[in-house]
Chains A and B, each alone.
Chain A
Amino acid sequence: MNKFLRQLLPFGTLTLIIAALAALKPDTFLTMENFSNVLSRSSYSGIIAMGMTAVIISGGIDLSVGSMMALSGMVAGLVMTGNGSVVPTDGLMVLGSFVGILTGILCGVLNGGLITLLNLPPFIVTLGTMSAFRGLSLVMNNGMMFDVPAYTFLGEGTLAGIPVNVLIFCGIALAAFFLLRYTPLGRYTYAIGSNRQAAWHAGVNVRRNLIAVYTIAGLFVGIAAMIATSRTVSAQPNAGLGMELDVIAAVVIGGASLSGGRGTVVGTIVGTLLITFLRNGLTLLGISTNTQFVVLGAIIIAAVALDQAARAKAETA
């Protein structure tokens, strides 16, 4: 199997799933409404996966994204509602959104700073901040949510018939694609993930670049948090629970290597859509969410196993 075919593998699987679903459930699956709904639902995990792609290419991992999303949402909710005391006005909602996104950025800076300045493994640092961010979001309103009933634009709004959140996802995906492929920061990210020592010996400022990568990941989480908040018209301290696994799975299915140096934005998008359509299809087929977890787990292992087998073959041939 050559390189081109290998990259097409997840894409082919995705097409297969969509085709199978279209054949099995043409009346419910093949509707504009279902597609729009599915894409809109995958938009915020897709946005987070864009940041995760960069983090994983750099040889790191970010387990804190789910908690970070909850925290950013809660901070935004706090600002919008004046800690639950006022009904959000348009001005407060805009301000809240910015502060929420800023929270994501700061969380990313914290992750990147701890990892590079204390020289700790990303797994450990983000395992810690995963717990801490979750705790903070719960503490903020005693475990209660902030209701923001009028905050619907990002969740339900459309532009020219396309959901706003899907448009934002597309924009961020383009930006991430461009960043990783056409900027020195992206190039250094690949180099650091491939061989950190070699990158440093070639003059790459490893610390600064890693902090930048985690900060961008945080920015994307902040944006995703606003969409998630808008979709549920409430900021929930339990938002994004277990989400890191879905996101990491999407990146890995898309062909990235957890040991770094390898991964693409296009691959991750395919991985995200694959997971989303699979979920959607299983639901339409009447398979319970509990069983879906098992199927998803099997798919992740199968995808990586196939990819690795193809790679081994390509390298010995």
Chain B
Amino acid sequence: MTGISKHFGPVQALRDVHLTVRAGTVHALVGENGAGKSTLMKILAGVYQPDAGRIEIDGRPQVFAHPAQALAAGISMIYQELDLAEHLTVAENIFLGAEPRGRLPFTISHRQMIAQATRLARRFSFDIDATARVEDLATGDCQIVEILKALRHHASILVMDEPTSSLSEREAARLFEVVRRLRQEGLAIVYISHRLEEIIDLADEVSILRDGVLVHSAPTARLDIPTIVHYMVGRELTDFFPTRTARIGDVLVQVQDLASAAGIRDIRFEVRRGEIVGMAGLVGAGRTEIARALFGVDPKTAGQVRLNERTMSIDSPADAIAGGIALLTEDRKRTGLCLELPCSWNITLPSLAQIGFTPFIKPARESRIAAEVGARMAVKWASPEARAGSLSGGNQQKLLIARWLLANSRFLIFDEPTRGIDVGAKAEVYLLLNQLAEEGKAILFISSELPELFGIADRILVMRRGRLVGNLVTKQTTPEQVMHLAAVEERA
């Protein structure tokens, strides 16, 4: 790609960007949110047309007026939000739009489709059942389906946008293997990620975008994380994790023998005031399920939750909120925000009664309150009345934290709060966590990224297969030990 420029209205999204991706290599594309990574890739995939610049594949100039043309030229994209028909099977998804014909006109040969899909999967040694429904698959397997779909299109260039953002470490490791195999097969892979560790590990070359400009491009061997971060943000991120200053107080939350129908059992732990307790584990280990049971989303089948020595009876999120518990869910679009509604409405939603808006809401006061808590959380918005959907991912997350700050929750559960947000926003979230702890709140911090658990948590709980298998003081343990507990089955 040479001299690519693109603007949307007055915003210059890309300025004279050059990008060269070689066959048989993994080329990482990094940059903060809004740096122009997605725009650049959408131009490559024919979704947008550039204002200026050229695209060449194998030395031949290409013009893509439409995604179908890019696809035909061998460019496949795997978006962060996967693009699969959930109710269809793996094979049906792979062959969507190009189903093998049956003997009768207008029919599909399911037998052939399944056979071809299985053959394709085997050629790349993927272990996947072609007849399974996509809705029953784990996220990692869904990605394999996307990759197979791309391979079926004879892709020579594969763009992966944040493929590991919703994967556990084990699933991610499997994905890396797949990516390496595809590289061996001669594919060119453009790999977009916020996780710099995996980029160092995986990529052959790294290109860094900042504010629509390509600021640096070099072989990975000549880069390290601090250098990449430096190019991304244009400043050194020395204090990526804040110094923990909170004084840890007395026990606020006691979880006793908790179990739920979702498969967690015998969960027992405490969280003190001012303490950040991290929770590690693989996807499916039951971390989110603990959060859901504590917040009244899943019914408890056993055990009890005590807050401040008082046993709580929690049958719904409304009960939990009334008791002072908050949950920042892992999927802020699905279970967090009302995207079409104003930011201020999203902030006050659980607190209308608490701030005296029963029986009547006072819009001017609401706007003022929202502006206040929003400012404390450093939410960047045009105004509190802006639609929540108009904010960037990091700001949406801060909006939700502001919501629970206003609700005056004492025990806050954060489920993957930094997923899919850029480095700068992550650092801000860590800072906010630290502030909340300082104010004496108890925090349960669920994360799939060990570095952030080690960077911010006082203790780390480790989950495996619905059980709590470790309760470690961060300073006295190592990432290897946590990984071992999370991933390795003990011999009986």
**Using a CB–CB distance below 8 Å, which chain A residues touch chain B?**
181-184, 187, 190-191, 194-195, 197-205, 261-262, 316-317
Contacts and interface: CB of A to CB of B under 8 A. Distances in A.
B358 A187 contact: no
Contacts of B359: 183-184
B235 to A, nearest CB: 31
A204 B320 CA distance: 12
B68 interface: no
B341 A190 contact: yes
B122 to A, nearest CB: 39
B338 A201 contact: no
A195 B318 CA distance: 16
Nearest to B390: A315
B97 interface: no
B340 A204 contact: no
Interface stretch (B69-77, B163-171, B349-357, B429-437): B349-357
Interface in B302-352: 316-318, 320-322, 327, 329, 334-341, 345, 349-350, 352
Contacts, number: 76
Given A195-B337, A200-B317, 17 more contacts: A182-B360, A184-B352, A184-B359, A191-B349, A194-B339, A195-B334, A198-B335, A198-B337, A198-B338, A199-B349, A203-B318, A203-B322, A204-B349, A205-B316, A205-B318, A261-B338, A317-B9
Contacts of B360: 182-183
A199 B338 CA distance: 8
Contacts of B350: 202-204
A204 B317 CA distance: 8
B141 to A, nearest CB: 24
B322 A183 contact: no
Contacts of B327: 201
B361 A187 contact: yes
Nearest to B10: A317
Given A182-B360, A183-B361, A184-B361, A201 B297 contact: yes
12 contacts: A181-B363, A182-B363, A184-B353, A187-B349, A187-B352, A191-B345, A194-B340, A197-B335, A198-B338, A202-B317, A202-B349, A317-B9
A201 B336 contact: yes
B8 interface: yes
B210 interface: no
Contacts of A316: 8
Contact of B336 (A187, A190, A198): A198
B90 to A, nearest CB: 27
Interface string B221-250: 000000000000000000000000000000
Contacts of A202: 317, 321, 349-350, 403
A199 B353 CA distance: 15
B317 A190 contact: no
Given A183-B361, A184-B361, A201 B329 contact: yes
Contacts of A181: 361, 363
Most chain B CB atoms below 10 A, which of A198, A202, A205: A202
B341 A201 contact: no
Interface residues of B, number: 32
Instruction: Please give me the 10 A-B residue pairs with the lowest Cβ-Cβ distance, nearest first.
Output: A194-B338, A203-B321, A203-B318, A202-B349, A203-B350, A202-B350, A184-B352, A195-B338, A201-B335, A261-B340
A261 to B, nearest CB: 5
A316 B340 CA distance: 15
A198 B334 contact: yes
B338 A191 contact: yes
Interface in B378-421: 403
A200 to B, nearest CB: 6
Contacts of A317: 8-9
Contact of B318 (A191, A198, A204): A204
Contacts of A203: 316-318, 320-322, 349-350
A55 to B, nearest CB: 17
B340 to A, nearest CB: 5
B7 to A, nearest CB: 12
A205 B317 CA distance: 9
Interface in B431-446: none
Nearest to B345: A187
A191 B322 contact: no
B262 to A, nearest CB: 16
Nearest to A192: B338
A201 B361 contact: no
Given A183-B361, A184-B358, A197 B352 contact: no
Contacts of B318: 203-205
A130 to B, nearest CB: 29
A197 to B, nearest CB: 5
B306 to A, nearest CB: 21
Most chain A CB atoms below 10 A, which of B334, B335, B345, B403: B335
Interface string B444-469: 00000000000000000000000000
Contacts of B361: 181-184, 187
B39 to A, nearest CB: 13
A201 B317 contact: yes
Contacts of B341: 190-191, 194, 261
Nearest to A205: B318
A183 B320 CA distance: 23
A246 B341 CA distance: 27
Contacts of A262: 340
A190 B357 CA distance: 16
Contacts of B353: 184
Contacts of A200: 316-317
A202 B404 CA distance: 9
Contacts of A183: 359-361
A203 B314 CA distance: 12
Nearest to B388: A194
A259 to B, nearest CB: 10
Contacts of A198: 334-338
Nearest to B404: A202
Nearest to B321: A203
A261 B342 CA distance: 11
Nearest to B327: A201
A46 to B, nearest CB: 25
Contacts of A194: 338-341
Contacts of A190: 338, 341, 345
Nearest to A261: B340
Contacts of B357: 184
A182 B345 CA distance: 12
Nearest to A184: B352
Contacts of A204: 318, 349-350
A201 B349 CA distance: 10
